[in-house]
Amino acid sequence: MADEAIKLGGKKRSVFIDKVKEILPEGGNLNLCLTCGACSSGCPATGLEGMDPRKFLRMAALGMDEEVLSTKWVWMCTMCTRCMYVCPMKINIPQLVFNARSTWPRDQRPKGILGSCDMALRNDTCSAMGATEEDFQFVVEDVLEEYQEAQPEFAEMLAPVNKKGTEFFLNQNSREPVTEPDEMVPLWKILHLVGADWTYGTKGWAAENYCMFLGDNDAWKHIVEVKKKSVEDLGCKVWLNTE
């Protein structure tokens, strides 16, 4: 048996989709849906939690805010934007998902993402794994020294930290310095061989930003600003983020 039909009528009760329209260029085209289903047919998240991109958008358009703002599906959509790419009307469903995430009470959002964001807010490294400035610098210098000795062809290789005025400021995912430091080395070798002028910074070195995934706009902005300031303070020309 099909679910009971949704009855519409009475006064318009939606506020959520209208709010999102206000903050997106061209309103995210959120009222242009042709209901074709191209979005849903190619979405890996289709079917999870009984939801799909078209259904999510239609429910928002119908003003079903309670359902739209409570479905766990918003944490299962990765906001990859394929739906928007294939949409004939270029509707920004991923931004609708992101803004739905940001309406959740902060303490009810997924604990793993929340914890990673909060950890990154604890110090200026922005590391979601909590690695400090001292930890990071120590690991980089320790690993570099080890490889300079063990592989003499790379005795001159550098992994500069806080070098001013370089061409590139390189971010590093926390996973390497914290859990598998040897994995940092191949990239250093490549940078060395091509003669790249680069540096890490003790502040803002961590590449990840879980505050963005958390839908916490203020924290997301803070993390980006800390990283930006680090690049600017060192006077580097290009900020390379490997994530």
Q: Which residue has the tokens 């191209």?
A: 38
User: Are 154 and 192 contacting, i.e. CB atoms less than 8 angstroms apart?
Assistant: yes
Map residues 97-136 to x or -, x wherever contact with another protein holds by CB under 8 A: -------------xxxx-xx--------------------
CB of 66 to another protein, least distance (A): 22
CB atoms within 10 A of CB 133: 18
For the chain, how many residues are written?
Answer: 243
Nearest Cα to 169, choosing from 215, 221, 122, 229? Answer: 229
By three-state DSSP, how is residue 191 classified?
A: helix
User: Are 199 and 234 contacting, i.e. CB atoms less than 8 angstroms apart?
Assistant: yes
Tell me how many residues contact another protein (CB under 8 A): 46
Return the number of the residue (9 or 25) whose C-beta is nearest another protein: 25
Return the number of the residue (14 or 192) whose C-beta is nearest another protein: 192
Return the number of the residue (110 or 130) whose C-beta is nearest another protein: 110
DSSP 80-141: --HHHHH-TT---HHHHHHHHHTTS-GGGS-HHHHHHHHHHHSSTT--TT---HHHHHHHHH
Torsion of CA 173, 175, 179, 183, to 10 degrees: -50
Q: What is the CA radius of gyration of the chain?
A: 23
The token duo for 199 is 């540096």
CB of 58 to another protein, least distance (A): 21
Q: Which of 36, 80, 155, 238 binds another protein (CB under 8 A)?
A: 80
By three-state DSSP, how is residue 163 classified?
A: coil
Map residues 163-182 to x or -, x wherever contact with another protein holds by CB under 8 A: ----------x-x----x-x
Q: How many helical (H) and strand (E) elements, i.e. helices and strands, does the chain have?
A: 12, 3
Q: Which of 21, 37, 49, 123 binds another protein (CB under 8 A)?
A: 49
- Residues between 12 and 31 that touch another protein (CB under 8 A): none
Q: Which of 9, 186, 195, 218 binds another protein (CB under 8 A)?
A: 186
- Residues between 196 and 235 that touch another protein (CB under 8 A): 207-208, 210, 213-214
Return the number of the residue (109 or 203) whose C-beta is nearest another protein: 109
User: Are 187 and 154 contacting, i.e. CB atoms less than 8 angstroms apart?
Assistant: no
Q: Does 69 bind another protein (CB under 8 A)?
A: no
Binding site for another protein (CB under 8 A): 42, 44-45, 47-49, 72, 75-82, 85-86, 110-113, 115-116, 147, 150-151, 153-154, 173, 175, 180, 182-183, 185-187, 189-190, 193, 207-208, 210, 213-214, 242-243
